[in-house]
Amino acid sequence: MPEDTKLSREPTEPAHEHHESSLTGYIVIWLILLAGTALTVIAARIDLGRFNAAVALTIATIKALLVALFFMHIKGAHEKLLKLVVISTIFFLFILLTLSMADYGTRTWS
């Protein structure tokens, strides 16, 4: 639930003093992302049976989280509201995927 019950316009600290995430931090994240891509391809070439898709998706999710947290500055955001928006969006996407799978997954059960 929207929890920022503070008076709507208390002076919050000035916006442009983002915490100083230095450029090297970005480059490290960038390298991890490239490594993740390479790892995805390598993992896809190994026969993991039914787990191939799961592995690919977990690596992709980790990469997406890295981009969201560091490149899109969710990590340092001074307000929980942005996190709430992201989480609720993912929740509703999750609803769409799982509840439609509730139908397709159980079609052959009769």
* Residues in contact with other proteins by the rule CB under 8 A: 1-2, 4-5, 7-9, 11-12, 14-16, 18, 23, 26-27, 30, 33-34, 37-38, 40-41, 44-48, 52, 56-57, 59-60, 63-64, 67-68, 71-72, 79, 81-82, 85-86, 88-90, 92-93, 95-97, 99-104, 106-110
Side-chain half-sphere CA neighbours of 25 within 13 A: 11
CB of 13 to other proteins, least distance (A): 9
Listed residue (54, 57, 85, 56) closest to 72, CA to CA: 85
CB of 38 to other proteins, least distance (A): 8
State the Cα–Cα distance between residues 59 and 37, nearest whole angstrom: 8
